[in-house]
């Protein structure tokens, strides 16, 4: 199947839109195929502000309507407790909200940006999507992450080289309760590093400390700004550690 055929068969769709590489290309492809599409961005404490801004930017650039839904996922004890299958409960809550609003808006089908490179067997959230009848056109059409980046570049989408970004909740160890304060610390600290020029990195919570995961090529930048980074991060953390198993 091709995306053109998918959208010919499903000409009216609601897209769960994150502003990342995959959903950005899917939004572009839906419009290019002539489908009637509305992007739905679910704003929760798990998403940093820059993701929302990227989503708005792209929707405006493509001249596609974007609906923002506010959702307090931390009000759900099953999510805040941060069990191993937290993603299942979170995805179910988010996509239920999208599906409800999309139905009210007249969109019969919800789609998402899961691609053929994603290991669905290792993603509890995929179970929730399956249960709710959400379809994944990129995966159904056999498009890998590499394919999507290439096609996005050809389409001149600014997201084509955007690093993958997992939600802020992934920085907190499984079994540790997720609080708004922990998420705020994470977003603030990662925004600081991003402003210094770091890309594709993570700051993990380790007790009351922070563990930095960086790419090897960015270690010189870390050393050059070490004092400023330690000083800033110790406003929120008791210790600042570096994971020597650098990101690949």
**How confident is the model over 145-161, as pLDDT tens digits?**
999 999 999 999 999 99
Given this model, what pLDDT does residue 133 score?
94
Report the C-alpha gap between 173 and 182 in whole angstroms: 11
Q: Which residues contact 160 (CB under 8 A, 6 or more apart)?
A: 21, 149, 152, 153
Given this model, what pLDDT does residue 124 score?
76
Q: Yes or no: say if 90 and 169 are a contact pair by the CB < 8 Å rule.
A: yes
The arrangement of strands across the sheet holding 202-206 comes to 202-206, 209-213, 240-242
Q: Count of alpha carbons within 13 Å of 56, Cβ hemisphere only?
A: 8
Q: What percent of the chain has pLDDT over 90?
A: 90
Classify domain 3-161 at the CATH class level.
alpha beta
Q: How confident is the model at residue 165 (pLDDT cuts 50, 70, 90)?
A: confident
Per-residue pLDDT for 18 more than 70? yes
What are the structure tokens assigned to 135, written together?
Answer: 């379809």
CATH 3.30.70 positions along the chain are 179-242
Q: Yes or no: say if 172 and 210 are a contact pair by the CB < 8 Å rule.
A: no
CATH 3.40.50.620 positions along the chain are 3-161
Per-residue pLDDT for 32 more than 70? yes
Q: Select the more confidently predicted residue: 143 or 166.
A: 143
**How confident is the model over 207-244, as pLDDT tens digits?**
999 999 999 999 999 999 999 999 999 999 999 999 98
Given this model, what pLDDT does residue 118 score?
79
Given this model, what pLDDT does residue 122 score?
58
Q: Count of alpha carbons within 13 Å of 58, Cβ hemisphere only?
A: 31
Given this model, what pLDDT does residue 248 score?
56
Report the C-alpha gap between 29 and 14 in whole angstroms: 13
Report the C-alpha gap between 115 and 144 in whole angstroms: 6
First and final C-alpha spacing in the chain = 32
Q: Yes or no: say if 39 and 64 are a contact pair by the CB < 8 Å rule.
A: yes
Per-residue pLDDT for 121 more than 60? no
The CATH architecture one would assign to domain 179-242 is 2-Layer Sandwich (3.30)
């Amino acid at each position: 199947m091709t995306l053109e055929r998918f959208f010919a068969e499903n000409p009216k769709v609601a897209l769960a839109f994150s502003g990342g590489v995959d959903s950005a290309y899917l939004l572009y492809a839906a419009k290019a195929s002539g489908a009637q599409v509305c992007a739905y961005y679910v704003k929760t404490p798990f998403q940093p502000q820059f993701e929302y801004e990227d989503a708005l930017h792209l929707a405006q650039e493509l001249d596609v309507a974007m609906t923002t839904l506010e959702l307090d996922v931390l009000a759900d004890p099953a999510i805040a407790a941060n069990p191993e299958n937290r993603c299942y409960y979170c995805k179910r809550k988010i996509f239920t909200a999208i599906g409800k609003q999309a139905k009210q808006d007249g969109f019969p089908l919800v789609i998402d940006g899961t691609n053929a490179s994603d290991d669905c067997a290792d993603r509890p959230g995929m179970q929730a999507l399956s249960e709710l009848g959400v379809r994944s056109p990129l995966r159904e059409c056999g498009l890998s992450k590499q394919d999507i980046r290439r096609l996005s570049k050809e389409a001149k989408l600014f997201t084509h080289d955007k690093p993958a970004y997992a939600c802020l909740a992934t920085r907190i160890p499984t079994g540790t309760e997720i609080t708004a304060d922990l998420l705020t610390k994470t977003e603030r600290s990662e925004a600081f590093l991003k402003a210094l020029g770091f890309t594709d990195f993570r700051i993990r919570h380790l007790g009351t400390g922070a563990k930095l995961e960086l790419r090897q090529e960015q270690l010189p930048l870390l050393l050059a700004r070490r004092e400023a980074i330690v000083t800033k991060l110790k406003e929120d953390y008791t210790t600042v550690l570096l994971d020597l198993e650098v990101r690949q």
